[in-house]
Amino acid sequence: MDAKQIVITAVLTVVVVFLMDRAMSVYLKWRLRAAGTKSRSGKPVSKEDPKEGRIEMSPDAVRVAHPKSGVAEVPWNAITRLVAFKRDVFIVDLICLQLTYGERGQQKCLEVHEEMLGFQNLIDALPSRFPLRDENWWYKVAFPAFVPNATTLWEKQDPATA
């Protein structure tokens, strides 16, 4: 093969992979919408595992217990920003949520993910606690695959700049 054939083959390969990715993204979006959160048996599909950690909510706070990093409790009213994103964990993606909290200049972040027990309950509770920017944020984060797709769901307005 000469250099021209190699370049043409490489370009065609990239185009085919790109088109396959687009087609799969559309197909998976359609399947997710069609199936919702149900499996073929009709039972909810969940990746939640208590070994990954536990998320609990009270009227006043979110409490996260992680086997390696311990326990953190964040009052709802201390949260200043919510960002959803995706981590590439080898052959799958992991949907994560970063809760930023604390006073300006002393902010901390707490990260939770879809494999933690209670994650779906937290996601379901967010719209009643915060005016989310986009109710379809999950699809924007989930697709396309293997891209972080960081999306700010909510951010507290700073009174100094408002």
**What pLDDT digit, counting tens, does each position of 133-160 carry?**
998 899 899 888 888 999 999 999 876 6
- The one-character DSSP state at 58 is -
Q: Token pair 């707490």 is at which residue? A: 110
Res 156: pLDDT:
93
Cβ-based neighbours of 41, under 8 Å, separated by 6 or more = none
Asked whether 62 and 76 are in contact (CB, 8 A), the reply is yes
Res 41: pLDDT:
47
**What pLDDT digit, counting tens, does each position of 18-73 carry?**
777 776 766 665 555 544 454 454 444 678 888 899 999 999 999 999 988 899 99
Fold of 46-155: PH-domain like (2.30.29)
d(CA 93, CA 87) in angstroms, rounded, equals 6
Asked whether 118 and 50 are in contact (CB, 8 A), the reply is no
Cβ-based neighbours of 70, under 8 Å, separated by 6 or more = none
**What pLDDT digit, counting tens, does each position of 98-116 carry?**
999 998 889 999 999 999 9
- The one-character DSSP state at 134 is -
- The one-character DSSP state at 155 is E
Query: Within 13 Å, how many C-alpha atoms sit on residue 49's CB side?
Result: 5
Domain range list for the chain: 1-40, 46-155
Q: Nearest to residue 100, comparing CAs of 118, 81, 85?
A: 81
Question: At residue 125, what is the residue type?
Answer: A
